[in-house]
């Protein structure tokens, strides 16, 4: 499991709690979850970049009104060089798919975090 955990730490920048919890239950289960993370977030030739993937999951988190995840993902977007315009586009897409009420709910927190990050 150590090799898989190390790969995920390098890939995501941290070890997700789901892998930590799964390892406490069963090592094979933890390896399976680590493999899932690797499959989703690994770079593939011709595939989406990490920044694009994070923009997508950011928009999904916002459209689901998952503010805590949106703020965490925003920090990753900053690390991967996302521009303010890209983040704003993702927020507008979230408003389109999740509804304007969710936009109202998540935008205040996200905009405050953007300001903190220097956007």
Whole-model pTM: value is: 0.83
Pull the structure tokens for residue 105: 């709910």
Dihedral over alpha carbons 92, 97, 99, 104 (to 10 degrees): -30
Q: What is the pLDDT of residues 47-95, one digit of tens each?
A: 999 999 999 999 999 999 999 999 999 999 999 999 999 999 999 999 9
Contact 37, 100 (CB under 8 A): no
Would you mind telling me the total number of residues written for the chain in this entry?
Answer: 119
Q: What is the pLDDT of residues 3-57, one digit of tens each?
A: 777 777 777 777 888 888 998 999 999 889 988 988 898 889 999 999 999 999 9
Pull the structure tokens for residue 5: 């955990």
Q: Where are the alpha helices (DSSP H) in 44-99?
A: 50-63, 67-79, 84-98
Pull the structure tokens for residue 50: 């990490």
- What DSSP assignment string belongs to 92-118? HHHHHHH-HHHHHHHHHHHHHHHHHHT
Contact 8, 19 (CB under 8 A): yes
């Amino acid at each position: 499991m150590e090799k898989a955990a190390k790969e995920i730490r390098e890939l995501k920048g941290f070890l997700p709690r789901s892998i930590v919890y799964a390892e406490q239950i069963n090592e094979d289960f933890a390896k399976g979850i680590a493999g899932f993370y690797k499959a989703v977030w690994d770079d593939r030739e011709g595939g989406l970049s990490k920044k694009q993937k994070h923009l997508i999951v950011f928009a999904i988190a916002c459209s689901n009104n998952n503010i805590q995840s949106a703020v965490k993902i925003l920090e990753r977007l900053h690390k991967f060089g996302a521009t303010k315009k890209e983040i704003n586009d993702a927020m507008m897409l979230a408003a389109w798919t999740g509804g304007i009420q969710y936009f109202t709910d998540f935008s205040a927190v996200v905009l405050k975090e953007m300001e903190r990050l220097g956007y």
